[in-house]
Structure 1
Amino acid sequence: MEHQLRIAVVQAAPVLFDKESALEKVADYAAQARNEGARLLVFPEVFVSGYPRGLTFGARVGSRTVEGREDFARYWRSAIVIPGEDTSRLGEIARETGLYLVIGVVERDGEFSGATLYNSIIYIGPDGELLGKHRKLVPTGSERLLWGQGDGSTLTVIDTPFGRIGGLICWENYMPLARMALYAKGVDIWIAPTADSRDTWQATLQHIACEGRCYVISSNQFVTKSTYPSDLQGYGDIAGDEQILCRGGSAVVGPLGEYIVKPLFNEEGLLVADLDMALVAQSRFDFDVAGHYSRPDVFELTVHETKQTIVNFKG
């Protein structure tokens, strides 16, 4: 395994519901990361095409509005199919820059109804190949109106020359059993894209680093009202909010819980860090959560990794 790795983390936001804006920003930041000598580049939760913070989509208990449905349709149009034309374009960016790309996306179901959206992470290799994806298991709060639930078939961990990469999205990271499932797959670099900019999120990152004895990379959007199209039907939902809607907090934490890059707040930016992958094994000397510190004689976790479907067609 290669021991030295330079990574980069994006803290930015596209124009909400504007896929072209998001893809252009991916290309721009990939070029910057390449120039910085990075080999792995991480983007925030649902970077393509934005986290609709503050929008209600006209939903109340027992009713939805026509205007809210129109905003949802706009969100749906800005989503991507995996694999598809947009992942091929992202693959071209990865190939041109030689980067591993980890990108939060809004995924549109391309297999069944075509209407359900998912909050997903995609992993793309430096050869442009789509290596895998993860769908958020439980959308949080009002997110459940927008996104469906993922299943165990996308608890994805990717092998690379510098270690195994995997992770969970935002508040999935508070699910102990989901974390354990990934620890058991030997994650060395934990990806935690998020929309949580609170101080308590930083404690979560440090806890996972200490618990998993892995590097933790968290990427959040820096969002201002200027990134929201003024012609959104629901723009009035945020009209009275502060100009900064999400302050960020992207950070990189080492396998003993120390900051490699401290959280960035209140500005857009690209974080760059050098990771010594040898520290992962060193940190597990006295605590290996899925190894010598586990007790399979006392605890057992069963993970269902079969893809779940309501209809099975048999010839």
Structure 2
Amino acid sequence: MQKEKAFTAAVVQAGSEVMNKEKGVKKAVRLIEEAGKQHAKVIVFPEAFIPAYPRGMSFGAVVGSRSNEGRKDFFQYWNNSITVPGPETAEIGEAAQKAKAYVVIGVIEKDNRSSQGTLYCTALFFGPDGELLGKHRKLKPTGSERLIWGEGDGSTLPVFDTPYGRIGSLICWENYMPLARAAMYEKGIQIYVAPTADARDTWFATMQHIAVEGRCFVLSCNQYSTKDMYPEEITSRKEFEHLPHELTRGGSCIVDPLGNFIVEPVFGKEEILYADINLDKIAEAQFDFDVVGHYSRPDVFQLIVNEQEQRNTIWK
């Protein structure tokens, strides 16, 4: 595969069309088109962009009980999540094809093969031919996310070899899992995509650390969202009264393999961040530190990754 050492990457900082997958797909398509017009070859969206990262919603749950109103909120969330593949992925793939770009986008996924109710926080990968290349399901939902999302397994930990480097992703606080990062490094990741819902100052130090540790480019993507993006009809709307108008301040950024910001964190608005990427910078950075090369000690440390799909039943 012929490598394009220099290209443009785009990180899309935007808010979801909350609880509306049709509008969410249309917004994603429009933003892919916009980034494509700027000749971006890798386009990245935030965690749970379709149909939403439901910040501030309790779904009527406390320890020991769930409310009927909360169940209605969950049904609306479930009903606006997507199957993979499905009609929504076909639309996004068509947009990627028109833009001639690789697209990584966060969605909430329904798995209709067996369980009808479990949702997964998933990153989808599309190629410039419109093909759905694969997906990564979040391994460990954080805190109250465990109420609404199931756990992925090691069968969806891909790193794709592309003309623009090896592209892979860990979602939000998976990036605090040292062994998950090590698995990505071992697969030779060069374009490390980190969709997130975390906009705290500590997150940016993490992105710089990963870039230095993995000697890779890090594309971190978060939403910018406000309370008025949420529909009035959700039953937990009253829970928003004490929350600030700005629910997620953004903070998307792009970091080079030596930990320097190519694009510093952007706050307070929707914006597409662009950066010129040169893959030669990776080899330059690995001159004195290559985490899976001359700076590894396989005689001392071994990592075992179970990449088998985990199912309750094995049919023979």
One-letter code aligned to 1:310: N
> 1:182: how far off?
0.7
> 1:230: how far off?
0.8
> 1:171: how far off?
0.3
Q: d(CA) in 2 for partners of 1:126 and 1:49?
A: 23
Q: Does 1:91 align with 2:93?
A: yes
Q: d(CA) in 2 for partners of 1:227 and 1:36?
A: 27
Quick check: 1:15–1:229 contact (8 Å CA) kept in 2?
no
One-letter code aligned to 2:263: V
Deviations 1:205-246 (A, max 9, x none): 000000000000000000101110011101111122111001
Q: d(CA) in 2 for partners of 1:159 and 1:202?
A: 26
Q: d(CA) in 2 for partners of 1:11 and 1:265?
A: 9
- Give 1:242's aligned residue: 244
Q: d(CA) in 2 for partners of 1:18 and 1:245?
A: 18
- Give 2:30's aligned residue: 28
- TM-score, length of structure 1 as denominator length: 0.98
Give unmatched runs, 5+ long, in structure 1: none
- Give 2:262's aligned residue: 260
One-letter code aligned to 1:21: K
Q: Does 1:270 align with 2:272?
A: yes
One-letter code aligned to 2:118: T
Indicate the SS of the match to 1:106. Answer: strand
Q: d(CA) in 1 for partners of 2:16 and 2:202?
A: 25
| Match of residue 107, structure 1, among 97, 106, 109 | 109
- Give 2:54's aligned residue: 52
Aligned residue pairs total 314
Quick check: 1:82–1:110 contact (8 Å CA) kept in 2?
no
Q: Does 1:182 align with 2:188?
A: no
Give RMSD over aligned pairs.
Answer: 0.7
- Give 1:135's aligned residue: 137
Indicate the SS of the match to 2:76. Answer: helix
| Match of residue 7, structure 1, among 6, 9, 17 | 9
> 1:36: how far off?
1.0
> 1:61: how far off?
0.4
- Give 1:126's aligned residue: 128
The share of aligned pairs that are identical, in percent, is 54
Quick check: 2:224–2:270 contact (8 Å CA) kept in 1?
yes
Quick check: 2:29–2:91 contact (8 Å CA) kept in 1?
no
- Give 1:288's aligned residue: 290
Indicate the SS of the match to 1:264. Answer: strand
Q: Does 1:195 align with 2:185?
A: no
User: Which consecutive aligned stretches of 4+ in structure 1 deviate over 2 angstroms post-superposition?
Assistant: none
One-letter code aligned to 2:258: L
One-letter code aligned to 1:255: P
Deviations 1:160-187 (A, max 9, x none): 0121001200000000000000100000
Indicate the SS of the match to 1:132. Answer: strand
- Give 1:76's aligned residue: 78
- Give 1:153's aligned residue: 155
Quick check: 1:6–1:274 contact (8 Å CA) kept in 2?
yes
One-letter code aligned to 2:141: P
Q: d(CA) in 1 for partners of 2:30 and 2:121?
A: 23
Quick check: 2:46–2:196 contact (8 Å CA) kept in 1?
yes
> 1:111: how far off?
1.4
> 1:110: how far off?
2.2
Q: d(CA) in 1 for partners of 2:303 and 2:101?
A: 35
- TM-score, length of structure 2 as denominator length: 0.98
